[in-house]
Amino acid sequence: MQDKKKGINLSERLQEIASFVPKGARLLDVGSDHAYLPLYLLENGHIDYAIAGEVAKGPYSSAVENVGQASLSERVDVRLADGLAAFTAADKIDVITICGMGGRLMAEILEAGKAKLSLVKQLILQPNNCEDELRLWLMANGFVITAEKMVTDKQKYYEIIVAEQGQMNLSAADLRFGPFLRQELSAVFKARWQKELSKLEQALVKIPETNEEAQLAVKAKISQIKEVLHESTASY
């Protein structure tokens, strides 16, 4: 991904995430892997300082190497650390990105480091799954979602969730589909849930009629998606 002449060539997913980072932010990227996101933002003059936090030695070493190759060691601190242990108040971090891992793991990382979250203005999160569990954690811990976007990259769908300190009250549908995403009903959102709907409808016909419990569970999921997509739920 790193080309010495042109700098970092980010995936579409990471570019979309980068577009949410406020100009001039002091960024902590948790689970930074190759440090692509901080390096891209620094190389483009979007931010001046970042910490790339990584818990695993291999990805940590890749990050150290990439930061060194980009001659940005003075402006990116690569730290081998678990979650929010990567920063202290002295770092004056105001934005945290956590991307490309499961929503449950993200909630665990935030929970473990929540005493430090009062220092931070904004969280930019891109869970790969269990988005509802992450939204539930945010709601239960004094965060409000301020923006959301569903994006595609290599035929996969990803949700980006931006949160700040505040209160919100989310319904079950908000938790599963996203309060902004389900209101906006973007073409990408519709395509993602149409795909899920087709999978569930195919699964439903394969469930034996005798297994009423399994049938009802799948029918309930189908109805929930159809309601969000404003499709008729009459047959379910």
What distance, in Å, lies between the first and last C-alpha atoms of the chain? 47
Q: Does the protein bind ligand SAM through residue 214 (CB under 6 A)?
A: no
Closest contact distance (angstroms) between CB of 132 and ligand SAM is: 20
Q: Does the protein bind ligand SAM through residue 10 (CB under 6 A)?
A: no
Residues 38, 32: contact at Cβ < 8 Å? yes
Q: Does the protein bind ligand SAM through residue 103 (CB under 6 A)?
A: no
Cα separation of 69 and 88, whole Å? 26
Closest contact distance (angstroms) between CB of 109 and ligand SAM is: 5
Q: Does the protein bind ligand SAM through residue 38 (CB under 6 A)?
A: no
Q: Does the protein bind ligand SAM through residue 16 (CB under 6 A)?
A: no
Closest contact distance (angstroms) between CB of 46 and ligand SAM is: 17
Q: Which of 100, 127, 178, 179 is in the footprint of ligand SAM by CB under 6 A?
A: 100
Q: Which of 7, 15, 22, 82 is in the footprint of ligand SAM by CB under 6 A?
A: 82
Closest contact distance (angstroms) between CB of 188 and ligand SAM is: 18
Q: How many CB atoms are located within 10 Å of the residue 162 CB?
A: 20
Q: Does the protein bind ligand SAM through residue 55 (CB under 6 A)?
A: yes
Closer residue to ligand SAM (CB): 64 or 105: 105
Residues 173, 227: contact at Cβ < 8 Å? yes
Closer residue to ligand SAM (CB): 129 or 198: 129
Which range touches ligand SAM (CB under 6 A), out of 24-32, 143-151, 195-203, 216-224?
24-32
Residues 166, 147: contact at Cβ < 8 Å? no
Which range touches ligand SAM (CB under 6 A), out of 49-57, 158-166, 192-200, 219-227?
49-57
Closer residue to ligand SAM (CB): 103 or 179: 103
DSSP β-ladder status, 76-80 and 49-54? parallel
Q: Does the protein bind ligand SAM through residue 117 (CB under 6 A)?
A: no
Residue 71: what are its φ and ψ, rounded to 5°? 55, 40
Q: Does the protein bind ligand SAM through residue 54 (CB under 6 A)?
A: yes
Interface residues toward ligand SAM, by CB under 6 A: 14, 30-33, 53-56, 59, 82-83, 99-101, 105, 109
